[in-house]
Structure 1
Amino acid sequence: LGEISWHQPATKGEPPSPRSGHTLTVAGDRIVLFGGCGITGDGQPSVMNETWLLSTQEPMKWELADVMGDVPSPRWRHSATLLPDKTSVLVFGGLCKGKRFNDTHVFSSDKNEWNIKESAGTPPHPRSHHTASLVHFEAEDELSMPKDKVFVIGGYGGPGTCRDFYMDVHILELDTWSWTKVGDMRGTVPKPRSDHCVCVSGHKLILSGGRGWSHSKTETGFFNDTHCLDVKTMEWTTPPGYNPDDEKPVWWPSLPTTLWNHMAIAIESVPSDKLF
């Protein structure tokens, strides 16, 4: 991977106001920022539904997008997933002033347009602090077609006034725009949680950390565990510990500390992907 270093690029234009719980999604040569909770221009706290664009071409420049269509209501702690066309961003869920959402919107970055996506099936319960990951499936045979699916995992929310941590798995089939809840999961399912992180590595989803119930539903705990979901077999596994006697030992330690609201990304590498 070469040298790993951080730097802060110079940008032009007025940047977004300070905020948290927003999303940043790379779509083509622009980065799409949506929503968040923070301070508005007049200094007041607010939940937002602004769409900001940052050009990745030199010079990098911020602009508040003049958008069309059905803009999502103000929210934060939602998810934003880049779709296969590489220019559209799928926004699902989130919360605003205690209300959770389970609606689905798509932003077309090449048109600066928002659209509500009506879907078949039963969507996940309203939630926030979840993850939504795009997975590509190759055609199984000459008669079938490749498919793309979005996997929504976990989060915090519930119908009506109910509130709980989840570790359910819902699939949005992008070819039919239909929701399916995965019923019988194989393996050891992780504890219900929110604020976790999920990375895509081939046909596996790697989940780490998060926040959930500790010993009872009155005490919140935090996690430093790592789990892996094979989306072909729908089986959860806990990666193996280090065994020096193995011919090619694999060590998947626990996170160095409990982590939540963190970010991670799987990067292709040799001999195996690396998780940062």
Structure 2
Amino acid sequence: GHRGYSLGGYCSGEDYETLRQIDVHIFNAVSLRWTKLPPVRPAIRGQAPVVPYMRYGHSTVLIDDMVFLWGGRNDTEGACNVLYAFDVNTHKWSTPRVSGTVPGARDGHSACVLGKTMYIFGGYEQLADCFSNDIHKLDTSTMTWTLICTKGNPARWRDFHSATMLGSHMYVFGGRADRFGPFHSNNEIYCNRIRVFDTRTEAWLDCPPTPVLPEGRRSHSAFGYNGELYIFGGYNARLNRHFHDLWKFNPVSFTWKKIEPKGKGPCPRRRQCCCIVGDKIVLFGGT
């Protein structure tokens, strides 16, 4: 429709140590107005309501009329692996009962959707204290988690990358990784190669080289439109540089093209979000 939802996220100067309810804002793309939902009151006096705590580094996806929120962290509780569901019609939160192999608590992962299935890739796992490159899927019709035993040469361990579903293929770009593997040694690398995961065969595909590439980056935005992948912004710590460039990737020709939009664009930033509303992109936030 014409509504966008903002749920939590990082805001410089905010308190992420005190446990408090996540905030929910609704953006009306027609009137260009924001509405903040009031805090959830407990149904039973003295009993805490079912609401996720304020966090950052989480993921949200929309399936039918439900927003599924998973992962993320705050500075007191750490990372979380509880699945929350937010009904966009009633504005009610719930915690669906899940079964199967639940992913370990993490932040900086990605989430994307094919049909009624959510795919989680990568992130920084709290218990293992390392970057991840595993893929879990959640079938929301049965609420069953599955750890996928992938075939092929897997994508590198990473966090704060993007994963975008085009058809039945998941396209992974960017993120922060470590030169020495899954463990964080402060030798960060920022890969700028596209990796492709085929959800039908559950295999990582061998990809041809691309002649022109965006700089590697983390915490950028990515979205699919008309069968192509777009990325905007992000940050590369090795270059100490924020970006405000817009790139388009064609999965058929396997080529990147830098887009030069008219008008005054957003300033360089990371941690923003981009949503498609009709044939427009709504960009919000960033640091």
TM-score (normalizing by structure 2): 0.77
Does structure 1 retain, via aligned residues, the 8 Å contact 2:132–2:182? no
Task: Quote the residue 1:101 is aligned against.
Answer: 132
Return the letter of the residue paired with 2:257: T
Does structure 1 retain, via aligned residues, the 8 Å contact 2:85–2:95? yes
Task: Quote the residue 1:2 is aligned against.
Answer: 30
Does structure 2 retain, via aligned residues, the 8 Å contact 1:203–1:232? no
> Is the aligned partner of 1:90 residue 2:119?
yes
Question: 1:182: Cα distance to partner?
Answer: 2.4
Question: 1:181: Cα distance to partner?
Answer: 4.2
Separation of aligned partners in 2, 1:38 and 1:263: 19
Separation of aligned partners in 2, 1:239 and 1:189: 13
Question: 1:254: Cα distance to partner?
Answer: 6.7
> Is the aligned partner of 1:274 residue 2:274?
no
Task: Quote the residue 1:165 is aligned against.
Answer: 190
> Is the aligned partner of 1:200 residue 2:221?
no
User: Which residue, out of 26, 39, 42, partners 2:62?
Assistant: 26
The structure-2 alpha-carbon separation of the partners of 1:63 and 1:176, relative to structure 1 and needing over 3 Å to count, comes to same
Percent sequence identity is 21
Q: Give a deviation string over 1:218-251, Cα, whole Å, max 9, x none.
A: x52111111111111111111145xxxxxxxxx2
> Is the aligned partner of 1:46 residue 2:78?
yes
Separation of aligned partners in 1, 2:264 and 2:135: 34
Separation of aligned partners in 1, 2:146 and 2:81: 14
Question: 1:54: Cα distance to partner?
Answer: 1.2
Separation of aligned partners in 2, 1:27 and 1:266: 15
Separation of aligned partners in 1, 2:33 and 2:250: 32
The alignment covers a number of residue pairs equal to 239
Task: Quote the residue 1:134 is aligned against.
Answer: 165
User: Which residue, out of 205, 211, 222, partners 2:242?
Assistant: 222
Separation of aligned partners in 1, 2:163 and 2:246: 17
Separation of aligned partners in 2, 1:70 and 1:196: 29
Separation of aligned partners in 1, 2:213 and 2:264: 16
Aligned residues: CA RMSD: 2.0
Does structure 2 retain, via aligned residues, the 8 Å contact 1:166–1:194? no
Separation of aligned partners in 2, 1:195 and 1:172: 20
Separation of aligned partners in 2, 1:255 and 1:50: 37
Does structure 2 retain, via aligned residues, the 8 Å contact 1:149–1:171? yes
Task: Quote the residue 1:66 is aligned against.
Answer: 97
TM-score (normalizing by structure 1): 0.80
